[in-house]
Structure 1
Amino acid sequence: MTTTAKELSAPGMAARTAAILFVFVIIFTGLLSAAYLWTKPAIEASATEEKMKLVDEVLPRSEYDNALLEDTLTLPATPELGLNEPSTLYRARRGGQPAALIFESIAPDGYAGKIRLIVAIRADGRLAGVRVTQHKETPGLGDYIEVKKDKNKARPWITQFVDMSLATVSDKDWKVKKDGGHLDYYAGATVTPRAVTKAVFKAVHWAEANRNQLFAEAAGKGGSQ
């Protein structure tokens, strides 16, 4: 059987094609790496800005002077906060002294499911602020727990928690007024504010019980419950 020139050149052509593809892969990978390194600082800065916007809603920057996003603890799953996965807790300090704790909490029993919260509690036990970060409550009915959706712009419902503490509000008053408690609610939508109030109450109790240990932990380590 006679071997043609075309057949003889096939392996060489395949090797050449493979080499060209390899070079293209190397160049493309290099370009992707360069693009990532170029944009990484901007992406990180944007993420930091978004985190600080959220923190600013629950704790004024005038109340602390440390690098808040660097003074953190990784909390394990914390049932008291409704969290079944690790989360990050931020510690605010002023003049080296404890100022506030900022952390996540979840109300598992909202009308339409879980309601995620961010809570800031001052070192003296007073709530500095609470905000809803995620929910699926009924639009126009239960979604007033979110500041942007609340029609009362002068005093949104969620701001009622500011300055509440275990020392100033008895346990039985950590409820909506329909249930004999301290907090207002909007008619026709009580399940949602009940769930949020219960979650905030649990968060305040948890912070009170763990405050000293949380502030004493080395940054970056896991917190305790």
Structure 2
Amino acid sequence: MTTTLLPLRQQPRFMALLLGGFALLVCGSVAISSRLTAPQILLRQQEDTQRLLTQVLPNSLYDNMPSQDEVTLTLDDQPIHFFRARQGGKVSAIALFASSRGYGGDIQMLLGIDAQGTLTGVRVISHTETPGLGDKIETAKGDWILGFDGLSLHKPDDQGWHVKKDGGQFDSFTGATITPRAVVKGVHESLQLFARHSAQILDQSPVGSTSTDKE
């Protein structure tokens, strides 16, 4: 019986090698492209972050680039992510991420707090609250969120840190009390955390450092 040899290009081994080589070429190209574009991507991310931070950190509070002074600390057994604003190398304020459970899910917030513990701004950066009701926490839908500016842990007192329906000083929304209640609670708890750990949060570590600490 005569065995007919297939042309090289039709042999399974050749096809496997060809596919393997092509896969390596594609992976190599992706790796090189990622390495070349990584610095630009990082720069764009820092610029986007900086634009967000300017909403809660007044320019008068810093002479550095807070988006490049990023820190993560483990406080009260949870990682807390924030950015530090500096004047003359000294931390003058921080921008702190916080979350609170609203009516439709988690409400993600960004808070600006100066070194004395006073709020310099609060913004909701994402939420799933009911359109037309709970979405009044957005600056695009109203100025309710601006009412936190200038407040601190003791201004108002503990009772004041509730919506008016619960005996506090903050307005709620018609048909959507749960949403503002959640935001007030999240802001208040963030101020309490800042008060407990201000020494660590305001630590004068080198600019651009990222660290993890735990008591």
TM over 0.5: yes
Q: Which residue number in structure 1 is paired with residue 210 of structure 2?
A: 220
Q: Which residue number in structure 2 is paired with residue 128 of structure 1?
A: 120
Distance 2:201 2:95 in 1: 11
The match for 1:116 among 81, 98, 108 is 108
Q: Which runs of 4+ in 1 moved over 3 A?
A: 9-16
Q: Which residue number in structure 1 is paired with residue 151 of structure 2?
A: 164
Secondary structure of the equivalent of 2:11? helix
In structure 1, stretches of 5+ residues that fail to align are none
Superposition deviation, residue 194 in structure 1: 1.1
- 2:156 alignment partner AA: V
Distance 2:42 2:65 in 1: 15
Aligned Cα RMSD in Å?
2.5
Q: C-alpha deviations, 1:47-73, integer Å up to 9, x for none?
A: 212211221111123311223233232
The match for 1:145 among 119, 126, 137 is 137
Decide whether the 8 Å contact of 2:162 with 2:169 is kept in 1: yes
Secondary structure of the equivalent of 2:46? helix
TM-score between both structures, scaled by the size of structure 2: 0.86
Q: Which residue number in structure 2 is paired with residue 74 of structure 1?
A: 72
Aligned length: 212
- 1:93 alignment partner AA: R
Decide whether the 8 Å contact of 1:58 with 1:130 is kept in 2: yes
Superposition deviation, residue 89 in structure 1: 1.7
Distance 1:210 1:111 in 2: 30
Superposition deviation, residue 224 in structure 1: 4.3
In structure 2, stretches of 5+ residues that fail to align are none
- 2:210 alignment partner AA: G
Distance 2:213 2:150 in 1: 25
Where is the helix percentage greater, Structure 1 or Structure 2? 1
TM-score between both structures, scaled by the size of structure 1: 0.82
Distance 1:173 1:36 in 2: 51
Secondary structure of the equivalent of 1:195? helix
The match for 2:81 among 64, 85, 88 is 88
Q: Which residue number in structure 2 is paired with residue 35 of structure 1?
A: 33
Superposition deviation, residue 39 in structure 1: 2.8
Aligned runs of 1:39-50 on 2, under 5 Å? Answer: 39-50=37-48
Aligned runs of 1:200-215 on 2, under 5 Å? Answer: 200-215=187-202
